[in-house]
Amino acid sequence: MKTLSVVVPCYNEESGLPELHRRLSRVCRSYFKEYQIIYINDGSRDATWEVMGSLAQGDPHVEALNLSRNFGHQVALTAGLERATGGVILIIDGDLQDPPELLGEMLLTMREGYDVVYGKRRRRTGESWFKKITAYLFYRLMNYCADIEIPTDTGDFRLISRQALDAFLQLPERSRFIRGMVCWVGFRQAPVFYERHRRYAGKSGYSVAKMLRFAADAITGFSIRPLRLALFVGLGFLLLAGLGAVLSLFGWQESHLLAACAGVAAVVLLAAAVQLFILGIIGEYIGRIFIESKQRPLYVIKDVIRAHAGGDEVEKSLLASI
């Protein structure tokens, strides 16, 4: 039987972690003789790292990674995925919003010949209207823009085969939208439906700023359609300008002088706003080219704690990935 790696990125999850570990371990044990659980501490401000440390000391299946600061969910997840050695890999959030017990159903689906089995939310309980509406709009906008079809209403909760993970690990980009990247690698992918529960403890680590950055990474990473906006809007304004010229030729402005002045001012302002907006979009892409060109490592690891069956091993090092 294949081995399993579970990858769990965590930011301020001290209160929920022991319960997650209990439920996760029970599920892993019931399907696999050999498994590893990789917890990644993404620069938490609470005692998450201490809790992870004690889990790792007490359980030889656990590997705990401590990043040197908060690098963000998608990068923390990448750090774990790069260390996963299993034949199948489960990605799961650290707040118990994704039920570990779904692993059984995911494995069954994978055995039908799929390489990626993703959790698709049937219902989201205990999340704010703001979160639900922004998530709904994001997935629809994403699918309108993106050149590949990314399944709607999914998170990163998924089971991936070794082959699909190896393909994924070859994507080197710095701005990471992992659910899109996993989709991009192809292979046979299938959903498993589930109800997304409220957090077990703590609160969401995704601030509005982080959500906006995430959405910008997703859209710019998978589509150049926003850049084409300039062409269409430019064309629209050309038509407007033509219309204005025709109207002035017929002396329409003389009898409606004030109205015409106001109209002209509005059009000029609108045109300026549109230009700035489009300049902003271009800037987003240029900024990303700049970030990619620096070729910095994605993250820095501060500590690793791994309590092997043969004896404790605690690495304290400054490792950089890629």
List residues near ligand UDP by CB under 6 A: 9-11, 13, 42, 70, 72-73, 76, 93-95, 97, 204-206
Interacting partner of 13 out of Mg ion, ligand UDP, none (Cβ under 5 to 8 A depending on kind): ligand UDP
Round to whole Å and give the CA distance between 17 and 256.
70
Residue 115 half-sphere exposure toward CB, CA atoms < 13 A: 15
Q: Which stretch binds Mg ion (CB under 5 A): 78-86, 92-100, 146-154, 207-215?
A: 92-100
**Helices 73-83 and 208-222: angle between axes, nearest 10 degrees:** 60
Residue 296 tokens read as: 């910095």
CB of 141 to ligand UDP, least distance (A): 17
Nearest approach in angstroms of CB 204 to ligand UDP is 3
Segment interacting with Mg ion, rule: CB under 5 A, options 93-101, 127-135, 140-148, 172-180? 93-101
Under the binding rule (CB under 5 A), the answer on residue 98 touching Mg ion is no
Q: Which is nearer to ligand UDP, 204 or 275 (CB)?
A: 204
Residue 312 amino acid letter: D
**97 scored as a contact of Mg ion (CB under 5 A):** yes
Pick the closer one to ligand UDP by CB: 76 or 165: 76
Cα separation, 238 vs 148, in Å, equals 32
* Contact of residue 4 among Mg ion, ligand UDP, none (CB under 5-8 Å per partner type): none
Establish if 95 lies at the interface with Mg ion (CB under 5 A).
Answer: yes
Q: How far apart are CA 291 and CA 174, in angstroms?
A: 7
Report the distance separating Cα 108 and Cα 284, nearest Å: 42
Counted residue by residue, the chain has a size of: 322
The whole-angstrom separation of Cα 29 and Cα 278 is 53
Measured from the CB atom, the residue of 81 and 167 that comes closer to ligand UDP is 81
